[in-house]
């Protein structure tokens, strides 16, 4: 996966090393961090575009994010697409969890899934929640899942 900052600046090298350097820099600046990971998608014709974000929240000091975009050709149901989004987020969370534990940084995985049964995405709620919680991560869904429903939504 290729990662970039919101301003478009590419992040070179391994994302784990980039995240570690970011944590060290932020800790040295006196900031306490929390990391939220989320993915959103949009169907554009025969292509499904995904955006995965790693959001760094500085306690009482704002935040910033790293972004990775990807595409899949073909079609899938809304439920399949929601689970694919969750899968992308869980993979990044899994890759980063040991590093974040080492630096005592909280981690949340956000799913762009509505908790209201009136919405189509709700069909994937139980599966997504079980997947994320089963992996040992903190789970957030709409309206609390800002990493996926706000941050990733803006860059997909």
- Predicted confidence band at 63 (pLDDT cuts at 50, 70, 90)? very high
pLDDT exceeds 90 at position 154: yes
Taking residues 94-111, report their average pLDDT: 97
Residues of the chain above pLDDT 70, percent: 100
3-class DSSP assignment, residue 93 = helix
The mean pLDDT value for 140-144 works out to 94
Domains, in order of start, for the chain = 3-155 (3.30.420)
Which letter, b or e, does each residue of 68-85 get, where b requires 16 or more Cβ atoms within 10 Å of its Cβ? bbeeeeeeeebbebbbbb
142 φ, ψ (degrees, to nearest 5): -55, 140
Q: Report percent pLDDT > 90 for the chain.
A: 94
Cα torsion through 47, 50, 51, 53, rounded to 10:
-170
Per-residue model confidence (pLDDT) at position 1: 86
Mean pLDDT computed over 120-127: 91
**Beta-sheet pairing, 47-58 with 138-142:** unpaired
Summarised one tens digit per residue, pLDDT across range 5-17 is 999 999 988 999 9
Q: How far is CA 134 from the centre of its chain?
A: 17
Give pLDDT, residue 128: 94
Range in 14-18, 29-33, 77-81, 120-124 with the lowest mean pLDDT: 120-124
């Amino acid at each position: 996966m290729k990662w970039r900052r919101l301003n478009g600046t590419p992040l070179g090298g391994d994302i784990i090393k980039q995240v570690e350097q970011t944590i060290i820099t932020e800790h040295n600046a006196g900031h306490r961090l929390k990391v939220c990971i989320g993915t959103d998608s949009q169907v554009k014709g025969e292509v499904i575009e995904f955006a995965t974000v790693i959001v760094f929240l500085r306690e009482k000091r704002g935040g910033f994010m790293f972004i990775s975009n990807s595409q899949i050709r073909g079609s899938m149901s809304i439920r399949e697409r929601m689970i694919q989004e969750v899968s992308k987020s869980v993979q990044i969370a899994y890759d980063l969890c040991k590093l974040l534990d080492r630096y005592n940084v909280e981690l949340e995985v956000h799913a762009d899934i509505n908790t209201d049964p009136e919405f189509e995405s709700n069909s994937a709620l139980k599966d997504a929640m079980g997947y994320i919680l089963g992996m040992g991560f903190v789970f957030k869904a709409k309206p609390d899942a800002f990493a996926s429903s706000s941050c990733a939504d803006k860059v997909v």
